[in-house]
Every structure is written in C-alpha cells, then in structure tokens.
Amino acid sequence: MQCTLTLLICLALAGCVLFEHSQPQASLDTAVLRARDWGKVYRGGRVRIVSVDARAPSWRNTDDMLLDPGPRTGEFQVLLCATEGLDCQPIASTRVSFRVEAGRTYIVRAQEQVNGSNHFFVWVEDVQSRALAGGETPAGG
C-alpha cells in the first residue's frame, strides 16, 4: 500500500511538472515573443500566436515563444473571449512582419480599429522600450 501511494504521488508531481506553464526568458542568443490580452472595457480577449516563420509555439505554452534574432513573420489570431480568458473564439487573423534582437522581450498587441468592427490593428513592440518592432499601430506605425 505504501509503495502504491508513493508511486501515485510521484506520478502526480511528474504531471504537474509536465504541464507547468513557465515563461521563457530572453538570452544573449534569443528573444522572447509574448501574446497577451487586448481590450476589456467594451469587450476583449486574447491574441494567439499561430506561428512565427511557419513554426508553431510549444503545445505546453502557446502564449510565449523563443526566437532567434532577425526579421520574422508571425501569424496571429485575435480572439474574443466571452468570459475571463475562457470560451474564446477567433474573430480576426493577420500576418505581421517584425524584427527582434537577442536579449529582448516583445509583445503582440491588438486594438480594434472601430469598436465592434472585428478589424484590428496588430503590432509587435519591445516590452522594455515600447519601440515598434513591426505591424500597424493605431497611431499609424
């Protein structure tokens, strides 16, 4: 009985490690791309990274990707969420060209062009400096 209980605890802990959602960190050789929320006052949702240079994010962490520095092309979906992060449906898709530097973290942002239109500005910006790395901002970047 003791051996069975120990085995079950080990399997449970291994499962927790397997599904742990850790955020990758930028290094001297890589950059990080993160997808996050958009909107919230009127309506909102999340941005999903579909792929970057035809490579999909890890199935364990679809919100963050490690990237080699240089020019990149990302496929992104804008999701509308009925509840806080749940029941999200894609309402727009876009392709964005952007450039990343090693050691930096970038975020994919989205904003509706007109409330309720399902037409979005989508851009990638440097988290630290807020500099535009690519895409189109509401200010016309």
Residue ranges covered by each domain of the chain:
25-135
Output the average pLDDT for the chain.
85
| Tokens (6 digits) for 54 | 């035809």
Confidence of residue 117 (pLDDT cuts 50, 70, 90): confident
Q: Residue 28 — φ and ψ, nearest 5°?
A: -65, -20
Residue 17's pLDDT is 45
Given a cut of 90, is residue 130 above it in pLDDT?
yes
Write the burial class of residue 111 (CB in 10 Å: 0-12 exposed, 13-18 middle, 19+ buried).
Answer: middle
Residue 96's pLDDT is 97
pTM score > 0.75 for this model? yes
